[in-house]
Amino acid sequence: MGSAPGKKKVISGEHIAIIAILAVIIVLFAFFLKDVMIPLFRMQMNNDIDGASALLKSKGIVGGISVILIEALQMIIVFVSAEFIQIASGISYPLYISLPLCDIGICLGATIIFLLVRVFNFNSSTYEKNRGMIDKIASSAKDRNIVLLLYLLFFMPFIPFGAICYYGASTKISYGKYMLTVSTSAIPSVVVSVLIGQAGKLFFSNSIPLWLLLLIVIILSVLLFALIYWFMHRFVLKGTDGTPDSLFFDIFFMVVKLLRFGKKKPVIEDEHLIEADLPYMVLSNSESFVDFAYLYYLSNHRSPAFVHNGYYCISSLFRLIQKHCGFIPKKLLTDDPDAKAKIEETLKKGFPVVSFPEERLSPDGRTNSVYEKRGAYYKELGVDLVLVRITGAYYAHPKWRRIAYSSDVTVRVERVLKREEIASMTAYEIDNIIGDTLYNDASGITDISYKQKDKAKGLERLLYRCADCGALYKMTSKGNDLICRSCGAVHSLDNTYHFKGKLKSIPEYYDAVRDAELKELDSLELCADVKVKQLGKNGRTLKRDSGECTLDKNGFKYRSATEEFSIPVQDLPPLEFKCGKRFELYHDNRLYFFTPSENPVQVARWALLVDILKSQQG
């Protein structure tokens, strides 16, 4: 139905006054545009703080007014960073001048936003992009008044001030309370930026050395972070702390996205996910170190808890992240009752749990067999299982290469096993379905082209043995070529990561190395002098040592001046390893890192030989 004909919208005197105010502001912007504003924006694009400071000083009062106007404009145009003009102001003027200038600019910008929203119902696309996080904070602080909520928002990292002002103006808060909140809550961040500018001025005048400037910047940043953390912990995280509902969970993955800037987002095919009922387990194959970042894009019914390598708990920063995000640490490739208990506790709270049953990255692009068959455990959990296959991630960052590239990655929910269905299956059937559904062979994908010119770089750290002459540790790489220094054989990778010769793929070459090792298995006696780091249950380093590792058909042995132990083949877990550096295993509730003193390429051989020995055990 249309509106009634002839009905006209009446423009009130208040609207006229507001339009007049905005017109005056636009005229002021235009007045300063040519001589000050445009040069300053050019300098911001070039990050020329020195030039901006010199320009501001040369303009006198006009320079101060320019700081106000630019700060206001950066509030309205939310995606423009405000730190540049704040630091430049700190270099140009004393603290007692630069701080009020920046704060007045923020208030001016907030006022314009208030008018745009309240009178003209204007909305910002950048605010919409930040709306999810703002709404999450608002929901966790629903029992607090809007003023306190705005203070909390201003203390949240990664949310632009302008976006917060657009949100505040859209509420029923009065203009007076709105302005008081904006003018005071922005002060800590502005003070840090201005003080950094003041320190920069001292550095440029040779009053302080570079190391002291850097120290000041670090201290100020830490103090601001500590204040933000205190506010989050005191007000926002209450009730959600230690769960995936925590705001820290979203902040963590926002940082992950920033660190992966320029990398392609995965293609998500999760139509089957709607079939799963909370709580449920998500099981996925493991192709790269950042698989968890790919799975974050799944349309889960609630934010999930991720099971991760307990080794990362040695980092105090990651312990803090784990504490607040509800991540679940697990000792990889070993039975971990604590991890199982935490998984069950998380599921009882109604959260999905994401786990990688392989518990180690694929060396050659083919999904590893699941170390510990858990069909019986999944029956006991009594939850739905969501089976997810990741494809395309292996070549983005394989074990043997230190550099990550962008790649076409697909995350596909292959199947949902309902709890009723699981209850009617045997543990053996569940394990087989999981293994078959998650299995992927990266070399089977031939329709993706990789343009990198150094695809083979580091490959000799995995394919340590020549497939042509059998020479050990004589492989090297250059560009897209894997070269044997002993016989001169060259295997070249094309743009689909396939070799051009008799052996067509990395898995085929890996199998050729395996076949060579099988022929010599009866006389196996591998020995290496190693440096050892031993970590305790809490991830802390217990001691460092030097000793000797041996591997034969009977099992693994380690001996040093202070310690000795052996693990028979039937009890020996697969060896997780870092190409060209070390291999690791758990023993007696302790994690051992073994780093060969000579020829660290051999760690890939230790891992492969353990896999061969385990396979012969059935």
Q: Which of 6-15, 132-141, 538-547 has the lowest mean pLDDT?
A: 6-15
d(CA 115, CA 525): 79
Contact 104, 110 (CB under 8 A): no
Phi and psi at 591, nearest 5°, equal -100, 125
Contacts of 50 (CB under 8 A, 6+ apart): 91, 204
Output the six-digit token pair for 481: 């070529």
Confidence (pLDDT) at 43: 64
pLDDT at 49 over 90: no
- Residue 129: pLDDT band with limits 50, 70, 90: low
Domains of the chain and any CATH numbers: 13-202 (no CATH), 247-444 (3.40.1130.10), 459-518 (no CATH), 521-616 (2.30.29.30)
pLDDT over 90 at 385, yes or no: yes
Q: What is the pLDDT of residues 416-463, one digit of tens each?
A: 999 999 999 999 999 999 999 999 999 988 878 888 888 999 999 999
Alpha-carbon span 306 to 289, nearest angstrom: 13
Could you tell me which residue, 310 or 11, shows the higher pLDDT? Answer: 310
**pLDDT tens string 91-111:** 677 778 888 888 888 888 888
Res. 602 pLDDT band, cuts 50 70 90: very high
Give helix then strand counts, H and E, for the chain.
Answer: 21, 17
pLDDT in tens, 177-204: 888 888 887 787 778 777 776 776 676 6
How high is the pLDDT of residue 445?
Answer: 83
* Residue 13 confidence (pLDDT) above 60: no
Ranges 198-202, 394-398, 588-592: which has the least confidence: 198-202
Q: What string of DSSP letters covers 76-124?
A: HSTTS-SHHHHHHHHHHS-HHHHHHHHHHHHHHHHHHHHHHHHHH----
pLDDT tier at 1, thresholds 50, 70, 90: very low
With 0-12 / 13-18 / 19 or more C-beta atoms within 10 angstroms meaning exposed / middle / buried, residue 137 is: buried
Number of other residues whose CB lies within 10 A of the CB of residue 283: 23
What pLDDT shows up at residue 440?
93
pLDDT score for 6: 42
pLDDT at 594: 96
In this predicted structure, the answer to whether residue 141 has a pLDDT above a threshold of 80 is: no
Helix (H, G, I), strand (E, B) or coil at 288: coil
pLDDT of res. 346 = 94
Q: How many residues does the chain have?
A: 618
Residue 481 has pLDDT above 90, yes or no: yes
Q: For residue 25, which phi and psi values (nearest 5 degrees)? A: -60, -45
State which amino acid sits at residue 419.
R
221 and 192 in contact (C-beta within 8 Å)? yes
DSSP H/E element including 413? strand 410-417
Which residue(s) pair with 535 in the sheet?
A: 541, 591
Residue 304 tokens read as: 């999930």
Tally of CA atoms within 13 A in the half-sphere of 460 that contains its CB: 23
pLDDT score of 179: 87
DSSP symbols for 161-181: HHHHHHHHHTSS--HHHHHHH
Structural element, H or E, at residue 476 = strand 475-478
- Among 123, 67, 131, 72, smallest CA distance to 99 is for 67
Distance CA 107, CA 121 (A): 19
561 burial type by CB count under 10 A (0-12 exposed, 13-18 middle, 19+ buried): exposed
Of 322, 372, 256, whose CA–CA distance to 538 is shortest? 322
For residue 392, count other CB atoms closer than 10 A to its CB.
21
Max mean pLDDT among 181-195, 258-272, 334-348 falls in 334-348
pLDDT band at 352 (very low <50, low <70, confident <90, very high): very high
5 band by pLDDT with thresholds 50, 70 and 90: very low
Angstrom distance (rounded) from CA 402 to CA 207: 41
The pLDDT-based confidence of 272 (bands split at 50, 70, 90) is very high
Work out the pLDDT band at 363, boundaries 50, 70, 90: very high
For range 541-547, the mean pLDDT: 90
Q: What average pLDDT does range 201-212 have in this prediction? A: 70
pTM: 0.71
Per-residue pLDDT at 569 exceeds 80:
yes
pLDDT at residue 4, as a whole number: 40
Give the pLDDT mean for 65-89: 69
- The closest alpha carbon to 349, from 326, 331, 329, belongs to 326
d(CA 336, CA 307): 12
Sheet with 564-568: strands ordered across? 564-568, 555-560, 541-552, 525-535, 590-596, 582-587, 576-578
Inter-CA distances, 492 with 86, 447, 450, Å: 53, 18, 14
**Taking the mean position of all CA atoms in its chain, how far away is CA 122?**
34
Q: Give the pLDDT band of residue 269 (cuts 50, 70, 90).
A: very high
Bridge partners, residue 565, by sequence? 558
Q: Grade residue 227 by pLDDT with cuts at 50, 70 and 90.
A: confident
> Averaged over 150-155, what is the pLDDT?
74
pLDDT exceeds 50 at position 513: yes
On whether the CB atoms of residues 404 and 290 are closer than 8 A, the answer is yes
Rounded to the nearest integer, the mean pLDDT of the chain is: 82
Distance CA 389, CA 439 (A): 7
Q: What is the pLDDT of residue 343?
A: 94
Residue 98 phi, psi dihedral angles, 5° rounding:
-65, -40
Question: Which pLDDT band holds residue 560 (cuts at 50, 70, 90)?
Answer: very high
* Best-predicted range by mean pLDDT (28-37, 49-58, 379-388, 534-543): 379-388
